[in-house]
Structure 1
Amino acid sequence: MLKIPGYEGGPLVQGDAYLDDPLFWPVHLGSCLRGEDAQRAAFGADWDAAMELYRTLSAEHEWPVFSVPLRSGHTIYVVYRNVADGWGVDYLIHQPAWSEAETLAVVDGHFMGPGMTWPELLSAARRSATEGIGDADARLLLLFPTLGDALLPDDAAVALTAALAALTLIEQPTDVAGMLLENQGQWAPALWRSAGGVWINDGGHSYRNPSNAFALPERRLLEISNALQGGS
């Protein structure tokens, strides 16, 4: 059985087999596909099949886990937390020297985030380690729900469109990419800034906003910033 240091719950199982299913991606991005137009564009005629896949992903007897190792030695874990009446997706980060994983973002009815800037998301997607999920498009879409960035670059839609075109059967990936970037996560897009090398934001639900009582300790914020920006 898989284990993540300090993370309670399970049974955790490797979820990589789902990545080959084109329907997995719109299901995974569902929290960012708000409104009937977005869902129709993402799922098309496959809505029933997508809902069946969702039921499989959220079954209590297995909690799918997706591991995204970074070159820094850290690993981001995407965990489908399949608790009855408490379903959600947890985004955790860990490295071997830590006693337990830290939470970057939570997607559920009591969401927490954002967890990443757009440059961090792109860096984490493209700077893969030698093991774990290595495909840059898969890494980008897996981690996309952690995004909350009010200042997106002009070419953000290009990278996201390419990932959707490569991995899904969505007929108009450009349109869906635009909708995803407009909505981003469950939270409002945040403003980010560097404070002494630490990237922080102004989000009221973010672990990376030092103004929040539940924010991560400064040393963790610095290490996470370095890891996500592509440093060591």
Structure 2
Amino acid sequence: MSAAVHIPEYVEDCDLVEGEDLVRDPAFWLAHLLLTMGDPGGEPERYGVDASAYEAMVDRLGDPEQPWPVVRVRFAGGHTAYVVYASFEDENNVDFFVRHPAWGRLGHLGQCGADEAGPGLSWAELITLAASAQDGDEGLSDPSQRLLLLLPMLGDADMPVDARDTVAQALACCGIRTDAADELAATLVGEQDPTGGPRWTVTDDSPIAVCSSPYSPRRVPLALGISPEHAQALANALHGSVREERGDTWINRSRSASRDR
């Protein structure tokens, strides 16, 4: 049985459980990405996922009678990114937020579902969180899994040319059929608009970047109201002092490790 998870500042009167066991199944990754970013009615076999396993995973993630699964990404400075599959009788949402135990509040990245909100991460932040060394024993440690878990929050006009390749490699590492991973990555990353897409800027008010999109919770600094010291620590954790390796390097290393398992 999965252990209970307690998030003091989150929704009251809901049961939360660790969801990391679910990520071992490629059906989880396909369900997670299609439910939040694609067509949940697509054919799972084309991606190398058994249809019955996919349907069972969709049912589990959206079952209001069961505790809500929580998947976590621990990163520098004691911060944690949370993804919660919140299922009510009449609607299903996937909530994305960041928390630090010293804050007394949540930093909302966005939501997929009835009340869409986002984006919540720039490409640089997404890559940093995926590649960051895990801080603590809880949550995901594999960089490909960390990238795909937070990918639905991506929105950025300034994307590198190899972004699709990086996502495709992560998909393959997580069990999506290699010859379908490139096509799925293209759908998930999409055509970026360098003139009208979301822009991320740091203002004089906070070291934490804000987003230009009117639908993003990050129109204001993430975790607004935390102390200046905490804001600087979060900004450092989101961007990293200096990434030691390029994004494609750690993805390739993760792929090699997965082959060895």
The structure whose Rg is larger is 2
Deviation of 1:19 (Å): 0.7
Residues in 2 aligned to 1:189 and 1:56: alpha-carbon distance in whole angstroms = 34
Residues in 2 aligned to 1:150 and 1:35: alpha-carbon distance in whole angstroms = 26
Deviation of 1:189 (Å): 4.4
Matched, 1:49 2:53: yes
Whether the 8 Å contact between 2:105 and 2:223 is mirrored in structure 1 is no
Aligned residues: 224
TM (normalized to structure 2)?
A: 0.77
Matched, 1:208 2:223: no
Equivalent of 1:228 in 238, 243, 261: 238
* CA deviation profile, 1:81-103 (whole Å, cap 9, x unmatched): 11111311111111121113222
Q: Which secondary structure state, in structure 2, belongs to the residue aligned with residue 78 of structure 1?
A: strand
- 1:74 alignment partner in structure 2: 79
Amino acid in structure 1 at the alignment position of 2:149: L
Amino acid in structure 2 at the alignment position of 1:15: G
Residue 222 and residue 204 in structure 1: after superposition, are their counterparts in 2 closer, same or farther (change >3 A)? farther
TM (normalized to structure 1)?
A: 0.85
Deviation of 1:205 (Å): 1.3
- 2:150 alignment partner in structure 1: 143
Q: Is 153-162 or 116-125 further displaced after alignment?
A: 153-162
Amino acid in structure 2 at the alignment position of 1:107: C
4+ residue runs over 6 A deviation = none
Task: Specify every segment of 5 or more residues in structure 1 that has no aligned partner in the other structure, as ranges.
Answer: none
Deviation of 1:18 (Å): 0.6
Whether the 8 Å contact between 1:90 and 1:105 is mirrored in structure 2 is yes
- 1:131 alignment partner in structure 2: 137
- 1:32 alignment partner in structure 2: 37
Task: Specify every segment of 5 or more residues in structure 2 that has no aligned partner in the other structure, as ranges.
Answer: 242-261
Q: Is 202-211 or 101-110 further displaced after alignment?
A: 202-211
- 2:7 alignment partner in structure 1: 4
Deviation of 1:5 (Å): 2.0
Residues in 2 aligned to 1:103 and 1:28: alpha-carbon distance in whole angstroms = 19
Deviation of 1:35 (Å): 8.8
Residue 182 and residue 221 in structure 1: after superposition, are their counterparts in 2 closer, same or farther (change >3 A)? farther
Of all paired residues, the percent bearing the same amino acid is 31
Residues in 2 aligned to 1:84 and 1:14: alpha-carbon distance in whole angstroms = 21
- 1:157 alignment partner in structure 2: 164
Whether the 8 Å contact between 1:76 and 1:93 is mirrored in structure 2 is yes
Residues in 1 aligned to 2:236 and 2:74: alpha-carbon distance in whole angstroms = 14
Deviation of 1:45 (Å): 6.8
Matched, 1:173 2:181: yes
Residues in 1 aligned to 2:211 and 2:110: alpha-carbon distance in whole angstroms = 13
Matched, 1:108 2:113: yes
Residues in 2 aligned to 1:227 and 1:111: alpha-carbon distance in whole angstroms = 26
Whether the 8 Å contact between 1:106 and 1:113 is mirrored in structure 2 is yes
Deviation of 1:29 (Å): 0.6
Q: Is 194-203 or 5-14 further displaced after alignment?
A: 194-203
* CA deviation profile, 1:196-220 (whole Å, cap 9, x unmatched): 3331111111111139xx9944857
- 1:191 alignment partner in structure 2: 199
Deviation of 1:150 (Å): 1.7
Deviation of 1:40 (Å): 4.2
Deviation of 1:221 (Å): 6.4
